[in-house]
Amino acid sequence: MKNLEKIDTIMRKFISELGYEEVNFMFNDISLGKKLRSKLILNIAGCFEESLRLCAVVELIHVASLLHDDVIDDSNLRRGKPSINAIFGVKNAIMLGDILYSKGFFELSKFDSKIAKIISNSVAFLSIGELMDVNLSKNFNLNLDNYFNMIYNKTAILIEACAKSAAILAGYDYEKFGIYGKNLGLAFQIIDDVLDIISDEKTLGKPSMSDFRDGKTTIAYIYLYQYLDEKDKKKLISLFRKNLNLDEIFWLKSKFDEFKIIQKCINEAKKLAKDGIESISQYKNDKLIEIMQSMVDRDF
For residues 114 and 146, what is the distance between their CA atoms, to the nearest angstrom?
Answer: 29
Q: In this predicted structure, what is the pLDDT of residue 203?
A: 61
156: which DSSP letter? I
For residues 124 and 100, what is the distance between their CA atoms, to the nearest angstrom?
Answer: 15
Q: What is the mean pLDDT of residues 51-77?
A: 93
Report the chain's C-alpha Rg in angstroms: 20
* Count of other CB atoms within 10 angstroms of residue 28: 9
Tell me the domains of the chain and their CATH numbers. 1-110 (1.10.600.10), 112-300 (1.10.600.10)
Q: In this predicted structure, what is the pLDDT of residue 206?
A: 64
Amino acid in the structure at residue 250: F
Q: What is the mean pLDDT of residues 92-106?
A: 96
Q: In this predicted structure, what is the pLDDT of residue 299?
A: 62
pLDDT one-digit tens code per residue, 239-261: 999 999 999 999 999 999 999 99
For residues 1 and 141, what is the distance between their CA atoms, to the nearest angstrom?
Answer: 47
Q: In this predicted structure, what is the pLDDT of residue 1?
A: 63
pLDDT of 170 > 90? The answer is: yes
For residues 133 and 60, what is the distance between their CA atoms, to the nearest angstrom?
Answer: 22
pLDDT one-digit tens code per residue, 138-166: 999 999 999 999 999 999 999 999 999 99
* Count of other CB atoms within 10 angstroms of residue 255: 16
Q: In this predicted structure, what is the pLDDT of residue 234?
A: 98
> Which has the minimum average pLDDT: 14-18, 38-42, 85-89, 119-123?
85-89
Are the CB atoms for 196 and 73 separated by under 8 Å? Answer: no
Q: In this predicted structure, what is the pLDDT of residue 205?
A: 59
pLDDT of 200 > 90? The answer is: no
* Of 193, 67, 213, nearest in space to 130 by CA: 67
Q: In this predicted structure, what is the pLDDT of residue 274?
A: 97
> Which has the minimum average pLDDT: 83-92, 114-123, 143-152, 250-259?
83-92
* Of 19, 4, 41, 5, nearest in space to 99 by CA: 19
The count of residues in the chain is: 300
19: which DSSP letter? -
282: which DSSP letter? G
For residues 57 and 76, what is the distance between their CA atoms, to the nearest angstrom?
Answer: 25
Query: pTM here?
Result: 0.92
Q: In this predicted structure, what is the pLDDT of residue 291?
A: 95
pLDDT of 182 > 90? The answer is: yes
Identify which of 36-50, 61-75, 79-93 has the greatest average pLDDT: 36-50
For residues 189 and 269, what is the distance between their CA atoms, to the nearest angstrom?
Answer: 9
pLDDT of 13 > 60? The answer is: yes
Q: In this predicted structure, what is the pLDDT of residue 249?
A: 94
Are the CB atoms for 52 and 10 separated by under 8 Å? Answer: yes
For residues 69 and 207, what is the distance between their CA atoms, to the nearest angstrom?
Answer: 17
Q: How confident is the model at residue 284 (pLDDT cuts 50, 70, 90)?
A: very high
CA torsion angle 9 18 128 205 (round to 10): 50
Amino acid in the structure at residue 94: I
